[in-house]
Every structure is written in C-alpha cells, then in structure tokens.
Amino acid sequence: MSYPADLKYTKEHEWIRVDGNTGAIGITDFAQQQLGDVVYVELPEVGSTITAGKVFGTIESVKAVSELFAPVSGEVVEINSSLKDRPDHVNSKPHETWMVKVKLGSTGELSSLMDAAAYEQLIQK
C-alpha cells in the first residue's frame, strides 16, 4: 500500500489529513500491519483537548494494546463513531479511516511532521 501525499505522518505511525483548520487523525498501514486485527478503539470525548506528542487514546488488536499519540494539539470536534461496530476498517482502509477530527490550535505544529516520502524511509529502516 502506498502512503498518500496529502497526509502528514508521525514517527509513532499516526497520520493527519488537514482540511482548512480541521485535521482528521488515523494510523498508518504500517501501524495496522504491526497491530494485527483491530477489535477496539478507545477515543477521547468531543470537546476535550489533545496535545501534540501526548497519548489521546488506545487501540487494541486481538493480541495487544497500543497507545495513540496526537500529531498536533487541538480540540476534538468529532469522533468516528462507526469504529464502534467496524474497528476492522482500521485494517482494511487505514488511510481513509480517521479516528478523531480536531480543530487545530496552531498550524505551526504541522511543519514538524513527516511527508509521505520521509515516512516511507522511516519504516524501511
């Protein structure tokens, strides 16, 4: 699977797709492969604030639990409620299946994230 050029990536394998001053956050194809079958995603509540580099939720596969790290800071404006019944979409469509949408605090944080080419290099190491 290729890594879309319109996403920005973290070294913890999250991505963010920015649209205006809103960012949708998910995990990468590499991350879902490492996790295996995802069965549960625990997300923050709408209205709460997440902080760049800090844990904002957890994701569980059959075998293991991992933390989700925020690529940027901001207020959660929407969570993907379809994940409750279809957590497997994280596996089948990792780059389309967003988990939370946040109102960006500052766009400056985006510049510290990787583009697709840099991320692909990271995961090939």
Name the site residues for another protein (rule: CB under 8 A).
36-37, 39-40, 42, 58, 60-63, 65, 84, 88, 91
Least distance between another protein and beta carbon 82 (Å): 15
Give alpha helix (H) positions in the chain. 29-35, 89-92, 116-124
Query: For another protein, which is the closer residue by CB, 62 or 118?
Result: 62
Least distance between another protein and beta carbon 122 (Å): 19
CB 3 within 8 A of CB 120: yes
Query: For another protein, which is the closer residue by CB, 17 or 93?
Result: 93
Core vs surface per residue 2-21: b (16+ CB within 10 A) or e:
ebeeebbbbebbbbbbbeee
Phi, psi of 42 (to 5 degrees): -105, 120
Least distance between another protein and beta carbon 79 (Å): 14
Query: For another protein, which is the closer residue by CB, 36 or 108?
Result: 36
